[in-house]
Structure 1
């Protein structure tokens, strides 16, 4: 059953979804709360019958593998979940991951990367590069996908892999965080319409996520990277999202660099709209599945 798209701004407002992102105080409180009360990250008890799931570890990091249950796998996708660097993977992420595995007929690797205050951009980047190197040894293609904060991790990894000589990687980005300086002059225009994200809290989170790196380092803000020779990009973004102006810059910069780009922009949609149980979300998920099909 699909829900009306128009109800989600009100729902997000009622649950104060933007509290950690709207103010610096909210961000600091969220970091402290996540350190004191880590959220459960495991997959739901009931999963689709057409996928199977296992778990391993990369050091202290849980890494799940979701595989199609029949017909075999024709490739790999590393999916890095979003959550503003403070929230772990949620049921909506798992539902999309299961759909990708079953319908794209690929094996999806899901690292539960360390959140703030423990993790940072450099550590997450190194984690994805290790996983990608291990999966490449299977001889099958390995692509990248992520949403929100996980979109930042995915695109930063794609740039690093390109620099290492790995070509042809497809990258799917859902409402990605691209420039952690949060300096796009169009952000103040979009901010009053965004019920989910904010500026002052996001700046605190971004500075902490950067760790010892500059906010302009492509490992932190992939929009600052050289985009030449990247594989195909699919970017999904709603216009009621303060990250949408940077999505436009990424599309322009990538196309100017000769990169194949598919831009799924939804007028009036909120942040991460492809993960929502709406008709527009379902249509976007179908496009994502097609882009990642082995």
Structure 2
């Protein structure tokens, strides 16, 4: 039986070496110093409608329970695409092939004012259709034509394919509107969750490439750090009815293993600024509004990003809501706090893009 003992010793030594090498090669810089920053917080208690939203989210989780692999991804996509099925839109919707996506244009919108919208869905689900409640509202409050890019999703495509789609869509929008060739006067980039990550990575890329920068950016409950080292990634599992059931189990896995898994899945280190905007330089960025909920797993990712960006001189704001689900803004038709969030975005756009002034002069 000595061989069993030798095998166990070998396995133990292998795991020790594996964990040590992982921390040496992949361990990210410690950003815990940014966790103590205070930001504007909405202190009112959640509305009664919030309970209905939470139950709706939990029902989605129950439908996905026990579904694994490809079937789970397809079920997520189907569920998300159905969110806006009963939506009464005021905007017109026009699909495009190159780049792939759709224009959402509210009555009275100035097509020279443009918003690139990048949907969420964990880089595996979501679409322009699933987020029409968001793009319809954004076109109205921004007095702008919204282009929702239908970027390529994982696992059918690599992560960088989606990144490249967002970059190309932005460059295309600079010279093209819903009516054809026309130079943009105002450019805004907005996105939620995974799309919020793409949004924040895109404005950094535009700065580095010395391309025309967006006039403003909006990130809703963004993923800013794939290293998963922020405290709320673990402490808010129980209070996040959307991300907790979906990703909470991953927190039982050692970080070093998750870093290797992330590296293999995304084909880049989790600390790469392309996947983790927090981990790159945050100077010289445009005015940026971040909205997040205090009970979601990603709140500390948002807090760290805003604090670091402010420390590096960029005008980034973080507004925190109490007790909301992840990306609660998508439930606008039924949730008063979603309307309040869009009012907050409208004021931000008024200040930084002159949306109200445009309304008066159009």
After TM superposition, the score normalised by the length of structure 1 is 0.84
Counterpart contact for 2:187–2:214, Cα < 8 Å: no
Shift of 1:238: 0.5
Cα offsets for 1:152-189 (capped at 9, x unmatched):
11111111111111335311000001111212134222
Report the CA distance shift for 1:116/1:3 in structure 2 as closer, same or farther (over 3 A).
farther
TM-aligned CA deviation for residue 200 of structure 1: 4.0
Question: Are residue 238 (structure 1) and residue 293 (structure 2) matched?
Answer: yes
Measured in 1, the distance between the counterparts of 2:77 and 2:50 equals 30
Cα deviation, residue 30, structure 1:
4.4
Q: CA RMSD in A?
A: 3.0
Q: How does 1:1-294 map to 2 (within 5 A)?
A: 4-16=49-61, 29-34=68-73, 39=78, 48-49=89-90, 51-58=91-98, 62-70=100-108, 72-89=110-127, 93-137=131-175, 138-165=183-210, 166-197=212-243, 198-201=247-250, 207=262, 211-276=266-331, 277-292=334-349, 294=355
CA contact (8 A) 2:193 2:220 kept: yes
TM-aligned CA deviation for residue 220 of structure 1? 0.8
Highest Rg: 1 or 2? 2
State how far apart, in whole Å, the 2-side matches of 1:69 and 1:209 are: 45
Which protein is richer in helix relative to its size? 2
Q: Is the 8 A contact 2:174 2:187 kept in 1?
A: yes
Measure the CA separation in 2 of the matches of 1:183 and 1:62.
35
> Does structure 1 retain, via aligned residues, the 8 Å contact 2:217–2:286?
yes
SS in structure 2 of the partner of residue 101 of structure 1: helix
Structure 1 residues 162, 90: CA separation in 2 closer, same or farther (over 3 Å shift)? closer
> Helix, strand or coil: the match of 1:124?
helix
Shift of the 94–209 alpha-carbon distance from structure 1 to 2, 3 Å rule, reads farther
Deviation at 1:242, TM superposition (A): 0.4
The 3 A distance-change label for structure 1 pair 32 and 45 is: closer
- Matched pairs, number: 283
Question: How much has 1:33 moved relative to structure 2?
Answer: 4.0
Distance, in Å, in 1 between the alignment partners of 2:264 and 2:132 is 24
TM-score (ref. length: structure 2): 0.69
Structure 2 stretches lacking a partner, 5+ long: 1-46, 176-182, 252-257, 356-362
Deviation at 1:250, TM superposition (A): 0.9
Are the aligned partners of 2:114 and 2:184 in contact in 1 as well (CA < 8 Å)? no
Once the two structures are superposed, what CA deviation does each residue of 1:110-131 show, in whole Å capped at 9, x if it has no partner? Answer: 1112222113331122111111
